[in-house]
Structure 1
Amino acid sequence: MTTHNVLPPYEGFDGQFINGTWQAGSAGRVLKDTNPYDGTLLTEIAMADQGDLDRAYEAARRAQRDWALTMPKERAAIFHRALANLAGRKEEIVSWIIRESGSTRMKATAEYEAIVAGMAEAVSLPYMAHGSIVPVDRAGKEARVYRKPVGVIGVISPWNFPLHLSNRSVAPAIALGNAVVLKPASDTPVTGGLLLAKIYEEAGLPAGVLNVVIGAGSEIGDAFCAHPVPRIISFTGSTEVGQRIARTAAGSATLKKLGLELGGNAPLIILDDANMGKAVEAALVGRFLHCGQICMSTNRIIVEDGIYDAFLEAYCAAVETIKVGDPNAPDTMVGPLCNASQVQSVTGLISSGVQQGFELRVSGEVDGHIVPPHVFVGVTNGSRLAQSEIFGPVAPVIRAKDEAEALRFANDTEYGLSSAIISEDEGRAMRVAQGIEAGMTHINDITIHDYPHLMFGGEKNSGLGRFNGHWIVEEFTTDHLVTIQR
């Protein structure tokens, strides 16, 4: 059996990482980073101002020129070393994710595994920047298309899967010869940014190729997106903020490409020939993993009439068994929400559902940041409860009279990120899947999946662009045509 050496824990999460140095931010304010479960102080970070942001982008611009000229094996070696260090730091990383984002141990472990998979995929990316030779209708003329890095990429990441959703952009950007300035969410400055900087620093990444700025969105958010240096802004977060980023970037002095992975309202369609066990498990895990604070979470459970009552009985019984509380306990499924504003938002949606007269079949008392599972039944698809991205442990169950109505309900939303179908008839499920207006659909599985080699992205107001595999190679590189007349 293979064993890994445990490395000394990382220290010094109290400032910015700019041009390979750890330094205090210049904003004159301190961000207190606390545990959402028990309120304990994790660290205090001297925040960045626009001057720090300028220095970070300039460091990235300078470093990228040399980094783009490195051999593919040199870039791949960074990720090999990062993988070795990750293996020796598993518990340290999992513990940080639990303490900073309120993740349960099962979710934090899954996020660690996603980071490892993303690093492993990045090893091959330097070799995937393929060019081409294109025929031309002229004697003696040759056309070559070279694929090159774009330059500097600005990455803004969210708090729900902070380490993974930062690295999902950072790793391929670096692997393809770009430099990065990363701004993590203020709720997760360590797991969303500073921890990642430590990992890459330890792996030997040259100074300036990755920079991390911790600052208030109200102070440096617009400047981050409008700055003249980055050619791409890669953002994961809410649709509202994504739309603001698009408007801000459009006003920049330099044209920018946007990669936006935004909100979702994932439908889980349970057809009347579904296996009951599969249906209940998909609705349970898909809705309540990480308290529903995942863009791909099952936001609406749409059940065909013939199986509706039986499903409700089995599902509600299963939800009642979910362990709620300490996120560090191995069998806890629902821990704390990330912050007080999330609690307010989710409890507001619960009140809205009650006021609209929907039956609250499962509920519980809110305790601090912990909101126990709630199940509403008989929900109408046009209601606020069904049309909102809930981002909390609240499950709306909707009855559909037949397959056609289930599909119509699934598509009746401004979002189009993920979706799923439960059915024992593969042909029928595939027919429904082809009719769903979403970037991703999973048959007989949960709505939550993100594999580093498979396309990830949404339609409608769920975003622009694609992540992972050769799709991210196309997003994070540019083509250069060179012709030769002989």
Structure 2
Amino acid sequence: MESSMAEHHHPWTGSLYVDGRFRPPAAGGSLPVHDKSSGELLGVAGDAGPEDVDAAVASSVAAQQAWAALPYSERAAVLRRAAAALEAADGLRELIMRETGSIAGKADYEIASAAGELFEAAALASRPVGEVLRTGHPGRFSVAERVPVGLVAAITPWNFPLVLGMRVIAPALALGNALLLKPSPETPLSGGLALCELFEQAGVPAGVFQVLPGGEAVGRRLVEHPDVAMVHFTGSTTVGREIAGTAGSLLKKTSLELGGNNALLVLDDADVDQAAMIGAWSSFHYQGQTCISAGRHIVDRAVADAYLDNLTARAAAVTVGDPLRDGTGLGPIINDVQLARARRLLDDAVAGGARILTGGTNEGRFFRPTVVVDVDPAAALWTEEIFAPIAPVAVVDGTEQAVALANDTGYGLVSSVVGSDVHRATEVARRLNCGMVHVNDATPQDEPLAPFGGIGQSGLGGRAGGDSNLEEFTERRWRTVTGDPVHYPY
């Protein structure tokens, strides 16, 4: 195992990153960060307050226009250097594993995907930013151009802190914006402070990228601040509603990537072994703690018994424990609050008649992968986002029932359909009300060029990735130029 970033004193200790330097919070607050498996202290971040937000915003506003005025090739070069530095960062892999409680494969994915976001954003910087419009006025030149939003505030979650932060940071910077990042208090190191030196070495000017670890007061001030032009939030639907309400009253641009109660449909002609592998990965990977995990398995009766047997066997075979140990498949639930919620959802479902086929137990925050059937469709385990390694399974008769049950939710993030007849499975997929759908693959999918996002309670309809980032992180401006004299009545 590579040397741990947490074994040494770092410039970020007790600090925020404001105006190109690490400094303590104005009020002197601190934010301890612990290994999610052992409880060992990993480090201490600064705990920002509203005063720090104001200072950082002022620095960003002062720096943003000069950054936007740089030739696109210079911004692109900065992002490419940042990607190379990220790929070579010593100790980042172990830091992610320890700070998030994830296995090595998940940490490797985060680093590779975050670097991919930077490389793709570097290409985004050279995309055309305008179009010439036809005009009915002789002598007038009319163009629609894209201009940076200005200052973007990103409030990011703890589950994939590096890649979900970079999904916003990279395109926002590429397109000439400044970025203020508030990572989750659970993961302020891999989610923010560990990036600051990398960006500084890559050539990001002071004030263009800043990190403010902290709690609710910091997030609220960022949303309310009049000089923050746009707020991006990834997290729960409950908090997203609050942000949308505040930002809406201020007529402020928002991008909300919220929760999901995602369905995996297994059709009557599915290859059961393949379907169960897809189902196990969809519900159990990273302890089920992603917005794109499958929270509802909807299985045709013709293959239900075989599917349940196979899924149960796969769940029972997973090793749960310290992610730093070889062979571990799942680490711990992120904290005691999430653990208590998972236990409540499962226990309430069982009290209502559900049956656990495997799992359902935990030792501390280490929760066994769980398969449960006969869940009341009104139970919270079926209707709410779970965020734990629990796979509720419902048996249906035919595709009509499957589609109706899958669409019976206010969420609309992602679904998957598994079936041997690809044409038929694709037709079923087209009927599902969600922002993303996958045929014969797991619900957790993410690519830098793909439009990622949901509908309904899963988001406001904005998308991250590829050309969608042009819509997210720029505003369209109409500009005309008239060379000949104009004449008006007065």
Residue 369 of structure 2 aligns with which residue? 373
Deviations 1:142-170 (A, max 9, x none): 31112111110010000000011111001
Q: Distance in 2 between matches of 1:298 and 1:10?
A: 40
Residue 188 of structure 1 aligns with which residue? 187
Kindly provide the amino acid, as one letter, of the partner of residue 404 in structure 2. Answer: R
Q: Distance in 1 between matches of 2:57 and 2:128?
A: 24
Matched, 1:469 2:469: no
Deviation at residue 305 of structure 1 after TM alignment: 1.1
Residue 291 of structure 1 aligns with which residue? 287
Kindly provide the amino acid, as one letter, of the partner of residue 480 in structure 1. Answer: R
Q: Distance in 2 between matches of 1:313 and 1:247?
A: 46
Kindly provide the amino acid, as one letter, of the partner of residue 330 in structure 2. Answer: V
Kindly provide the amino acid, as one letter, of the partner of residue 175 in structure 2. Answer: L
Quick one: structure 1 residues 224 and 291, their matched pair in 2 at CA, closer, same or farther if it must change by over 3 Å?
same
Q: Is the 8 A contact 1:105 1:332 kept in 2?
A: no
Residue 17 of structure 1 aligns with which residue? 17
Deviation at residue 78 of structure 1 after TM alignment: 1.0
Secondary structure of the residue aligned to 1:408 is helix
Q: Is the 8 A contact 1:105 1:330 kept in 2?
A: no
Kindly provide the amino acid, as one letter, of the partner of residue 393 in structure 1. Answer: P
Q: Distance in 1 between matches of 2:112 and 2:312?
A: 30
Q: Distance in 1 between matches of 2:107 and 2:87?
A: 15
Q: Is the 8 A contact 2:180 2:210 kept in 1?
A: yes
Q: Is the 8 A contact 2:349 2:376 kept in 1?
A: no
Which piece of structure 1 moves more, 20-29 or 414-423? 20-29
Where does 1:174-253 land on structure 2 (aligned, <5 Å)? 174-217=173-216, 219-252=217-250
Quick one: structure 1 residues 439 and 227, their matched pair in 2 at CA, closer, same or farther if it must change by over 3 Å?
same
Deviations 1:217-269 (A, max 9, x none): 1x2221110100111100000000000111122333xx311100000011000
Secondary structure of the residue aligned to 2:179 is strand
Q: Distance in 1 between matches of 2:103 and 2:202?
A: 28
Secondary structure of the residue aligned to 1:201 is helix
Secondary structure of the residue aligned to 1:441 is strand
Matched, 1:484 2:446: no
Residue 163 of structure 1 aligns with which residue? 162
Secondary structure of the residue aligned to 1:295 is coil
Kindly provide the amino acid, as one letter, of the partner of residue 439 in structure 1. Answer: G
Deviations 1:76-110 (A, max 9, x none): 11122112212322x61111111111111121111
Residue segments in structure 2 that go unaligned for 5+ positions in a row: 485-490
Kindly provide the amino acid, as one letter, of the partner of residue 120 in structure 2. Answer: E
Deviation at residue 382 of structure 1 after TM alignment: 3.2
Kindly provide the amino acid, as one letter, of the partner of residue 360 in structure 1. Answer: I
Q: Distance in 2 between matches of 1:378 and 1:354?
A: 9
Deviation at residue 112 of structure 1 after TM alignment: 1.4
Where does 1:26-37 land on structure 2 (aligned, <5 Å)? 26-37=26-37
Residue 3 of structure 1 aligns with which residue? none
Q: Is the 8 A contact 1:10 1:198 kept in 2?
A: no
State the aligned residue count: 477
Deviation at residue 129 of structure 1 after TM alignment: 4.4
Quick one: structure 1 residues 248 and 27, their matched pair in 2 at CA, closer, same or farther if it must change by over 3 Å?
farther
Residue 310 of structure 2 aligns with which residue? 314
What percentage of aligned pairs have identical amino acids?
Answer: 37
Residue segments in structure 1 that go unaligned for 5+ positions in a row: 1-5
Which piece of structure 1 moves more, 345-354 or 150-159? 345-354
Deviation at residue 401 of structure 1 after TM alignment: 1.1
Q: Is the 8 A contact 1:265 1:387 kept in 2?
A: yes
Residue 363 of structure 1 aligns with which residue? 359
Residue 173 of structure 1 aligns with which residue? 172
Quick one: structure 1 residues 140 and 9, their matched pair in 2 at CA, closer, same or farther if it must change by over 3 Å?
farther
Secondary structure of the residue aligned to 1:483 is strand
Deviation at residue 455 of structure 1 after TM alignment: 0.5
Q: Is the 8 A contact 1:380 1:398 kept in 2?
A: no
Residue 57 of structure 2 aligns with which residue? 57
Deviation at residue 364 of structure 1 after TM alignment: 4.9
Deviation at residue 357 of structure 1 after TM alignment: 1.1
TM-score by length of 2: 0.95
Residue 416 of structure 2 aligns with which residue? 420
Secondary structure of the residue aligned to 1:159 is coil
Q: Distance in 1 between matches of 2:368 and 2:179?
A: 39
Matched, 1:39 2:39: yes
Q: Distance in 2 between matches of 1:10 and 1:128?
A: 41
Deviation at residue 375 of structure 1 after TM alignment: 0.9
Runs of 4+, deviation exceeding 4 Å = 6-10
> RMSD between aligned alpha carbons?
1.7
Residue 437 of structure 1 aligns with which residue? 433
Secondary structure of the residue aligned to 1:392 is coil
Deviations 1:190-219 (A, max 9, x none): 1111112222112121000001111221x2
Matched, 1:103 2:99: no
Kindly provide the amino acid, as one letter, of the partner of residue 464 in structure 2. Answer: F
Q: Is the 8 A contact 1:379 1:399 kept in 2?
A: no
Deviation at residue 9 of structure 1 after TM alignment: 8.0
Q: Distance in 2 between matches of 1:215 and 1:185?
A: 7
Residue 279 of structure 1 aligns with which residue? 275
Deviation at residue 28 of structure 1 after TM alignment: 3.3
Q: Is the 8 A contact 1:422 1:445 kept in 2?
A: yes
Kindly provide the amino acid, as one letter, of the partner of residue 200 in structure 1. Answer: F
Quick one: structure 1 residues 10 and 140, their matched pair in 2 at CA, closer, same or farther if it must change by over 3 Å?
farther
| Counterpart pick for 1:302 among 273, 294, 298 | 298
Where does 1:255-270 land on structure 2 (aligned, <5 Å)? 255-270=251-266
Where does 1:83-94 land on structure 2 (aligned, <5 Å)? 83-89=83-89, 92-94=91-93
Q: Distance in 2 between matches of 1:346 and 1:55?
A: 39
Secondary structure of the residue aligned to 1:320 is helix
Q: Distance in 2 between matches of 1:215 and 1:27?
A: 12
Kindly provide the amino acid, as one letter, of the partner of residue 250 in structure 1. Answer: G
Q: Distance in 1 between matches of 2:48 and 2:479?
A: 42
Secondary structure of the residue aligned to 2:467 is helix
Q: Is the 8 A contact 1:19 1:207 kept in 2?
A: yes
TM-score by length of 1: 0.95
Q: Distance in 1 between matches of 2:310 and 2:360?
A: 19
Quick one: structure 1 residues 432 and 48, their matched pair in 2 at CA, closer, same or farther if it must change by over 3 Å?
same
Q: Distance in 2 between matches of 1:383 and 1:409?
A: 14
Q: Distance in 1 between matches of 2:443 and 2:205?
A: 38
Deviation at residue 433 of structure 1 after TM alignment: 1.0
Secondary structure of the residue aligned to 2:477 is strand
Q: Is the 8 A contact 1:226 1:251 kept in 2?
A: no
Deviation at residue 340 of structure 1 after TM alignment: 0.9
Which piece of structure 1 moves more, 306-315 or 373-382? 373-382
